[in-house]
Structure 1
């Protein structure tokens, strides 16, 4: 057997083989892992593209790129972990929609990826930050929106890990937090964006509607039939979650970066002054040093003072 044929046989996705889902009855297969690897490549690709484009901009214009780079790289790590069949815990399924052969004697345990919710915690605030930047939202209101978004993620993480029906309490509280952020953006931010140009207002409305549809309708539906209700198998759940994640935390942040950069900071109401880095990197003009002041000649001054003293004495003697 040739070396090439040996390498071909060794190739392929061996994540499930190397990291077996021990303790979980309902878990992803190699197909689910392949889908997670696909999502990982998308996040990595868009993150690298934005990073390369960022370094072509001045320092003060790079913040807009950071809002797109951050969610891509955060979700890249999360999907790398899930594709490797890591970052999960077995949770006893409350509902028997997906069953094992011995469901009555040994209730099934479902594979719950807590790494997904960690990725949400780090990446989900950034699309909210971007649409708030379109409106010129004040910092304190922006911080409030980010904190409530993190609260939503924590609630759903606990809901996914809880076995009993109390999970729906955390689920409802988290969904309420998402609605609070939606109201906050639609009132404060929208009132501000109405004072801006029509193109900015239209862009804000389009992306706001897409983000809130995915957050308040698509995500709750997905959770209810996957980690919550145990209706879909983990492979199908991974595809459902993956599509929403790609749209919300990859495509939208990446697309908003050139749009926000096209509008410009001044048009959006942000005024970035020259940074210290730009001051250091800027070429300095050579300034000629001033000529030194001439030093007084002490010898002549002393002679003049002696002559003046002698003249004064001669005048007194004449008198």
Structure 2
């Protein structure tokens, strides 16, 4: 790829003393190719599913597409800024990577936790702490003084909350989709928790202490992103291929879409008229995962 474009570093020269080389750019192009192919594959896979059963596929498409753009930018030697470190001068710091994680990390957690019986408020709170972890990582990476380690601590504490949700609260909920989904979730949550423990270690050795070269940083983060991206997403969604989406109460929100759409007439789980898409009564059938005034069986609308 670099030869095709005449060399990314020739076209977009590095802006710091310590920067990636052509070998690092070649590695990033390889990761970009995997992400791009995975995105196209997930899009094609989603179209083999009926409407109303694409919730997890669509989240995976967003995650993979975002990662594809991020790695295209880094492979092109774009999306970085120099940050000064003691003794060694300036180092390339890739803010585009944190933009990627700001989008993908919460969506990954939402996708995983939606297979559990956690309430919507618990899921969104966990997603919020994913944003906290990413923002603290970015602020620390852009800080040239020792105060960066304060942001590092805040980020690790946010990750601790996330690990508690994944490994503590999640497995103890009721899995309406069955014991098979619960066992798959436990394996998936353990994998995600373990991989995300590697990120703060990588940060401490790269953006934090500048101990590892930018090429090594790209290899480390690239492997982790591939494990949490294509590998995990395809594994997790493949495990759900035979699960009845009706067990979660998912539906498309349109009268005519999918096997789990409304059948019209009276509201489901409430006493207001109209279907889910047109319902305006606060205590009708909108409630899900603890939202609403009356017990309901329908879940959030998905496509």
Shift of 1:274: 6.1
Counterpart of 1:91 (choices 73, 76, 83) is 83
Counterpart of 1:75 (choices 43, 67, 71) is 67
Structure-2 residue corresponding to 1:304: none
Do structure 1's residue 218 and structure 2's residue 210 form an aligned pair? no
- In structure 1, list runs of 5 or more residues that go unmatched: 1-8, 100-107, 283-319
Answer whether contact 2:167 2:186 (CA < 8 A) is retained: no
Do structure 1's residue 261 and structure 2's residue 241 form an aligned pair? yes
Structure-2 residue corresponding to 1:287: none
Structure 2 residue matching 1:59: 3-state secondary structure: coil
Q: Which structure's CA Rg is the greater one?
A: 1
- Structure 1 residues 269-319: Cα deviation after superposition (integer angstroms, max 9, x where no partner): 33426624529xx9xxxxxxxxxxxxxxxxxxxxxxxxxxxxxxxxxxxxx
Shift of 1:211: 0.6
- Structure 1 residues 26-83: Cα deviation after superposition (integer angstroms, max 9, x where no partner): 0001111111111111111111111012122222011121121111101111111100
Give runs of aligned pairs for residues 15-164 of structure 1, distance below 5 A: 15-22=8-15, 24-94=16-86, 96=87, 99=88, 108-164=89-145
- Find the aligned partners of 1:77 and 1:180 in 2 and give their Cα distance: 29
Please report the TM-score for the alignment, with normalisation by the length of structure 2.
0.80
Structure 2 residue matching 1:278: 3-state secondary structure: coil
Do structure 1's residue 278 and structure 2's residue 270 form an aligned pair? no
- Find the aligned partners of 1:206 and 1:194 in 2 and give their Cα distance: 14
Structure-1 residue corresponding to 2:225: 245
Structure-1 residue corresponding to 2:300: none
- In structure 2, list runs of 5 or more residues that go unmatched: 262-303
Aligned-residue Cα RMSD (Å) equals 2.1
More helix per residue: 1 or 2? Answer: 1
- Structure 1 residues 203-243: Cα deviation after superposition (integer angstroms, max 9, x where no partner): 1111111111111x211111111111101110011001100
Please report the TM-score for the alignment, with normalisation by the length of structure 1.
0.76
Shift of 1:151: 1.1
Distance change (3 Å), C-alpha of 1:274 and 1:228: closer
Structure-2 residue corresponding to 1:185: 166
Answer whether contact 1:67 1:253 (CA < 8 A) is retained: no
Paired residues, what number?
258
Distance change (3 Å), C-alpha of 1:82 and 1:10: closer
- Find the aligned partners of 2:8 and 2:256 in 1 and give their Cα distance: 44
Shift of 1:201: 2.0
